[in-house]
């Protein structure tokens, strides 16, 4: 009991992650807009479907804006609310010099501001005579306000899958910590030649492989329901795939040598060498995706903008919890392998 406090801590942290990770609601957002393309110089109706929103009960303070540039936008001239999640906004949009992808803002006292970037494309109608007077006006300074209380941020394509940060991304971070521990034990093995370091190194690496495979699987599912494909050129997904290839090779190498001392020695050497070969990936792959897929470098879940404080309050415990679980898995393996070695030695 004295030595398993960290197991209990890990389980409690994971319990906290599962509870809060699933129960904390998202901030209000805009889930769908139609039509997505309107003509300038027309009066247009746009129907908006909200998410976790309170349109009906907050109808008195409801404002809808189409933001054109950093300071100005069109306010909806009339609103028709059809329930808490549905509303139709009417915009009088005058002639526009350029075709613009406008940002949609829905504001009310309860929900704060819901934002949908590039929500509506306004096609410029430059050559037509101005039939609709332009209602372009400056945005009020307190348009951007956030809903008070503990909520996860709403991101337009991610929706609820932002919760995957706690499971998928944290898994990946925990994997990296396990790999580092495996590397440390490999170095220790080369220095001391003691078999327990080899057992530790391999067990931590195997636990990391398990996490890596799960990370790939969950990443694939996440990609499927946000970006529409099972596999994307996303930086981190491909990094994880290469890491898995390297550590699968490590497992194959260990399986390919019968002599225990030789196996320990060679796998420790390969582990260090492979880790050194993996580090450049951190610099190589981002440059590659940036240049080959401009503006398409994936959707990094750890960007400063994406990870806000509410997410952090669950994300960091998730990393620690998953790491402790991985350590538990690794220790079980270590104990089994140690027993086996003892048995081999006593047989001789």
Partner 1 sequence: MSAFITNIIHLFSQQLKLEWKSPFIIGGNLLYVIGAVFITYKIFNEISAPVWVCVYWLIFLFTALNSTIHSFSREQSDSILFYYSFTNPVVLYLSKVTFNFFFLMLSAGLLFFFMWLFLQNPIVDDGLFLTAMVLSGLGFSIQFTFVSAIAVHTKQSNTMTSILGLPLIIPILMTAVKLSLISSEVIIDDGSDIDIMILSAIDMIMFGIAVILFPSLWRS
Partner 2 sequence: MIQKTLYILLIIMTPVLLMAHESADFLRSTGKIYSVVLAVVLIFLGIVFYLVRLDRKISRLEKEMLD
Q: Shortest approach of partner 2 to residue 322 CB, angstroms?
A: 9
The full DSSP string for 147-199 is -SSS-BPP-TTTGGGGGHIIIIIHHHHHHHHHHHHHHHHHHHHHHH--HHHHH
How far is 84 from 111, CA to CA, in rounded Å? 11
Of residues 161 and 238, the one with the C-beta less far from partner 2: 161
Three-state secondary structure call for residue 34: strand
Residues 6 or more apart whose CB falls under 8 angstroms from that of 211 comprise 171, 172, 174, 175, 178, 322, 326
Kindly state the helix (H) or strand (E) to which residue 287 belongs, with its residue range. Answer: helix 281-292
Evaluate whether 47 touches 34 at the Cβ level (below 8 Å): yes
323 binds partner 2 (CB under 8 A): no
Q: Which of 167, 323, 171 is nearest to 240 (CA)?
A: 171
Q: Shortest approach of partner 1 to residue 205 CB, angstroms?
A: 14
Q: Shortest approach of partner 2 to residue 139 CB, angstroms?
A: 27
Question: In the sheet where 78-81 sits, what is the strand order?
Answer: 29-34, 42-51, 86-93, 78-81
How far is 201 from 278, CA to CA, in rounded Å? 17
Of residues 133 and 280, the one with the C-beta less far from partner 1: 280
> What secondary structure letter does DSSP report for 2?
G
95 binds partner 2 (CB under 8 A): no
Q: Shortest approach of partner 2 to residue 161 CB, angstroms?
A: 5
343 binds partner 2 (CB under 8 A): yes
Q: Which stretch binds partner 2 (CB under 8 A): 66-74, 84-92, 210-218, 271-279?
A: 210-218
How far is 4 from 11, CA to CA, in rounded Å? 11
Evaluate whether 17 touches 317 at the Cβ level (below 8 Å): yes
Q: Residue 225: which of partner 1, partner 2, none does it interact with, CB under 5 to 8 A by kind?
A: partner 2
Q: Shortest approach of partner 1 to residue 283 CB, angstroms?
A: 6
Of residues 24 and 253, the one with the C-beta less far from partner 1: 253
Evaluate whether 205 touches 337 at the Cβ level (below 8 Å): no
174 binds partner 2 (CB under 8 A): no
Instruction: Pick the binder of partner 2 from 217, 245, 248, 260 (CB under 8 A).
Output: 217
Q: Which stretch binds partner 2 (CB under 8 A): 100-108, 193-201, 285-293, 336-344?
A: 336-344
The 243-282 site mask, x for binding partner 1 (CB under 8 A), equals --xx-xx--xx--xxx--xx--xx--xx-xxx-xx-xxx-
The footprint of partner 1 (CB under 8 A) covers 190, 242, 245-246, 248-249, 252-253, 256-258, 261-262, 265-266, 269-270, 272-274, 276-277, 279-281, 283-285, 287-288, 291-292
Binding residues for partner 2, rule: CB under 8 A, are 18, 22, 26, 31, 51, 158-161, 163-164, 167-168, 171, 210, 213-214, 217-218, 221-222, 224-226, 325, 329, 332-333, 336, 339-340, 343
């Amino acid at each position: 009991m004295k030595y398993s406090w960290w197991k209990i801590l890990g389980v409690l942290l994971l319990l906290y992650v599962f509870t809060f990770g699933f129960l904390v609601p998202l901030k209000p957002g805009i889930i769908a807009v139609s039509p997505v393309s309107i003509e300038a110089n027309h009066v247009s109706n746009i129907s908006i479907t909200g998410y976790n929103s309170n349109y009906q009960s907050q109808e008195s303070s409801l404002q809808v804006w189409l933001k054109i540039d950093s300071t100005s936008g069109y306010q909806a001239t009339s609103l028709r609310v059809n329930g808490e999640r549905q509303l139709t906004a009417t915009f009088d949009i005058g002639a526009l010099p350029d075709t613009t992808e406008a940002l949609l803002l829905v504001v009310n006292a309860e929900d704060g501001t819901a934002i949908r970037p590039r929500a509506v494309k306004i096609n410029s109608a430059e050559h037509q005579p101005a039939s609709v007077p332009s209602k372009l006006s400056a945005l009020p300074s307190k348009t951007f306000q956030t809903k008070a209380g503990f909520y996860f941020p709403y991101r337009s394509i991610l929706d609820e899958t932002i919760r995957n940060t706690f499971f998928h991304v944290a898994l990946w971070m925990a994997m990296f910590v396990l790999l580092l521990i495996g590397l440390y034990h490999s170095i220790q093995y080369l220095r001391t030649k003691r078999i327990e370091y080899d057992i530790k190194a391999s067990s931590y690496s195997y636990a990391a492989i398990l996490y890596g495979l799960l990370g790939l699987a969950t990443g694939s599912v996440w990609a499927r329901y946000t970006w529409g494909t099972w596999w994307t050129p996303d930086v981190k997904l491909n990094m994880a795939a290469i890491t898995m290839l390297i550590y699968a090779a490590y497992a194959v190498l260990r399986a390919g040598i019968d002599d225990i001392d030789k196996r320990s020695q060679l796998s420790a050497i390969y582990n260090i060498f492979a880790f050194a070969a993996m580090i450049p990936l951190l610099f190589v792959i981002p440059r590659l995706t940036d240049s080959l897929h401009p503006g398409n470098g994936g959707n990094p879940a750890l960007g400063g903008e994406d990870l806000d404080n509410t997410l952090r309050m669950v994300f960091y415990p998730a990393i620690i919890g998953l790491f402790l679980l991985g350590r538990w898995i690794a220790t079980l393996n270590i104990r089994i392998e140690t027993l086996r070695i003892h048995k081999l030695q006593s047989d001789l």
